[in-house]
Structure 1
Amino acid sequence: MRAQADILTITLNPAVDLATNVAQVIAGPKLRCGPPRFDPGGGGVNVARTVCKLGGVARAIVAIGGAMGEMLIELLAAEDVPALPVAVSGETRQSFAVTDNSNSAQFRFSVPGPALQSKDAYQLLAAIAEHAAKDGWVVISGSVAPGLPADFQSQIASLVAKKGARVIIDTSSHALDRLIAHPTTPVHLLRVDQSEAAEAAGRPMTTVADSLSFAADLVACGVAETIVTGRGAEGSILVSNKHRFFCRPPVIKAHSTIGAGDAFVGAMTLALARGDAPDQALQWGVAAAGATVKTEGTALCELASVQTCFDACRIEVL
């Protein structure tokens, strides 16, 4: 096993993911589904799962509640992912995906998580302060649970920065908007996918040049030292003050996009924690995302498939 720095992931709004299939999705009649698949879900959870699948070690702080929260922790234990559960108000949510066998279309549904309280925020920050390692990597990934302060991710980043931790954030919606609109100390790396970048910029990310300009603007504004922005099946771009790379994956027949972004972050974080250069870390991320879209339902990538994709990826200097 290669040496690596400590990796701690944080999931503020996890879910138990259910995936199934049906002959055809139509309104009205009862639809007879295939056998369900259950997986632990949520951004940071999937990041930690990916790190472990690729031969690394990651601990996962997970906000959980109720019977569904207990099921999530049991699912993580079954994969030998070290979990650090933090009991919070309410019941952990579920997400589910249904594949239409007649045309391979995938329908994804996500219910809102429980509204957390100020005591929950305090307990989460206390757990993060306890478990964040000096000079380690901290990944904040996924949505922010309702009820938490608007700047909660920034609070976490400031807290772990005192230990010299390098922070990676992959989020969306209002949490992403706030990070971009109110930057404080730049985080180490921020990942933004293509649709999120278009929404944040107020313009379509039609070309590679559009994505490059968007990422460079965020670096210049002090949002993050490094911005990684996706372009779907085209690949991903990495921009910092020192580097500008574009990694293109091989042509892949996609079965399910669930978890691909999380797999990207997990593989890239592991590579960085092992001391790999930014372009190589980007390549591992793109490879893991590519290997994940080849799987069914809520399944994540496996090491052999990631290695095959990695060998077929191409890095360009922009």
Structure 2
Amino acid sequence: MAKIVTFTLNPALDKSSALERLMPEEKLRCDPPTWEPGGGGINVSRALKNLGGDSLCIYIGGGHTGQKMEELLRQEGIQQHRIEGKRPTRENFVVYEKSSGKQYRFGMPGEAVSQQELDACLEVIRQLPQEVKYLVASGSLPPGAPDDFYGQIAQMARERNIRCVIDTSGPALQKVTEVGGCLLKPNLSELSQLAGKDHINALEQEEIARELISQGKASMLAVSLGPRGAMLATKEHIEYVVPPTVKQNSTVGAGDSMVAGMVLALSLGKSQRDMIRWGVAAGTAATMTPGSELCRRQDVDDIYNWIREKAEQQELPPSV
């Protein structure tokens, strides 16, 4: 049994294609389509696989799209537990315009989930074996799910002594902080919302992060700063990790890759400092890949080594 479990309540089957130019009211000839399983926790499991880690991927999947997702995950060699959904899993559509190099992403809303389906999810998590040490709940909530659903999962994880990592936004994130004790990965906008502010500046972010942790709303905060890397806030200290400048091809999957890098480092017994470095390395590596492709192991290793060497150089005493 894998030590890491990911959970996705609102997965999506991503269908993508390419064409020369996107034009209105024209019949457009597209390249043959490709399909990929998607959604927060599912992407974390896929990124973990790329990094050499294992996980159990739990998700709701219904209809032919849910079956297709199960097949694709099986082909990638990912352990999975599909909870049968009453309605087909949503599809997203991605178009790459060759003439401009731009990507257009059409995200569809998820189908409403029933209380019966929500109860089935909670029961699967309740029955997780003792070997599980980390639970990653990631992604948006579909219609029908209460705002506190991730909070319920976080509470359940705490009772089972499972370390919980939550990556979501809006009211769902706010409700998780009412339970507390989780590693959260907000961006600056989400950190602002947690603080009850419309906007915060760089001078405020450390104080706000410390206050949230002192109030018990999170055990750690890994605040994503985009191309500037991330800020790790714990009870003991604040640390920044700045990645090298790389050629960005797509930011799709960067956040999920960052979560994968962090939780894998934790599962291997790495320090908090190494955790945030691996996370930033994996998130940055994902921006180097085209389309919706996630991080590649070699890129992650190279970026992590660069981050570590730069940090060591800064810690050396000046030469006499």
TM-score, normalization: structure 2? 0.91
Over the residues paired in the alignment, what is the CA RMSD in angstroms? Answer: 2.0
Select 2:283's aligned residue among 276, 279, 289.
Answer: 289
Is 2:160 the partner of 1:160? no
Q: Give the drift of 1:33.
A: 2.3
Q: Give the drift of 1:132.
A: 5.1
Task: List per-residue Cα deviations over 1:1-20 (Å, max 9, x = no partner).
Answer: xxx97101100111111222
For 1:290 and 1:192, locate their aligned partners in 2 and report how far apart those are by CA, in whole Å. Answer: 16
Q: Give the drift of 1:97.
A: 2.1
Cross-structure match for 2:271? 277
Select 2:199's aligned residue among 185, 188, 204.
Answer: 204
Cross-structure match for 1:34? 31
Contact 2:138 2:168 (8 Å CA) reproduced: yes
1:291 maps to a residue whose letter is: A
Contact 1:66 1:92 (8 Å CA) reproduced: yes
For 2:279 and 2:93, locate their aligned partners in 1 and report how far apart those are by CA, in whole Å. Answer: 25
Select 1:76's aligned residue among 70, 73, 76.
Answer: 73
Is 2:145 the partner of 1:148? yes
Q: Give the drift of 1:136.
A: 0.5
Structure 2: gaps (5+ residues): 316-320
Structure with max Cα Rg: 2
Structure 1: gaps (5+ residues): none
For the structure 1 residues 5 and 38, does the alpha-carbon distance in structure 2 shift closer, same or farther, using more than 3 Å as the test?
closer
Contact 1:58 1:81 (8 Å CA) reproduced: yes
Deviates more, 1:65-74 or 1:31-40: 31-40
For 1:310 and 1:205, locate their aligned partners in 2 and report how far apart those are by CA, in whole Å. Answer: 29
For the structure 1 residues 260 and 272, does the alpha-carbon distance in structure 2 shift closer, same or farther, using more than 3 Å as the test?
same
Is 2:250 the partner of 1:250? no
Cross-structure match for 1:305? 299
Deviates more, 1:84-93 or 1:210-219: 210-219
Cross-structure match for 2:126? 129
Cross-structure match for 1:115? 112
Q: How does 1:39-118 map to 2 (within 5 A)?
A: 39-118=36-115
Cross-structure match for 2:318? none
Contact 1:135 1:166 (8 Å CA) reproduced: no
State, as a whole percentage, how many aligned pairs show the same letter.
34
2:56 maps to a residue whose letter is: R
For 1:216 and 1:89, locate their aligned partners in 2 and report how far apart those are by CA, in whole Å. Answer: 43
For 1:303 and 1:275, locate their aligned partners in 2 and report how far apart those are by CA, in whole Å. Answer: 19
Cross-structure match for 2:225? 231
Q: Give the drift of 1:162.
A: 1.7
Secondary structure in structure 2 of the residue aligned to 1:114: coil
For the structure 1 residues 204 and 252, does the alpha-carbon distance in structure 2 shift closer, same or farther, using more than 3 Å as the test?
farther
Q: Give the drift of 1:109.
A: 1.7
For 2:42 and 2:129, locate their aligned partners in 1 and report how far apart those are by CA, in whole Å. Answer: 16
Secondary structure in structure 1 of the residue aligned to 2:166: strand
Is 2:3 the partner of 1:6? yes
Deviates more, 1:126-135 or 1:187-196: 126-135
For the structure 1 residues 132 and 221, does the alpha-carbon distance in structure 2 shift closer, same or farther, using more than 3 Å as the test?
farther
Contact 1:135 1:163 (8 Å CA) reproduced: no
Is 2:146 the partner of 1:139? no
The alignment covers a number of residue pairs equal to 310
TM-score, normalization: structure 1? 0.91
Q: Give the drift of 1:304.
A: 0.9
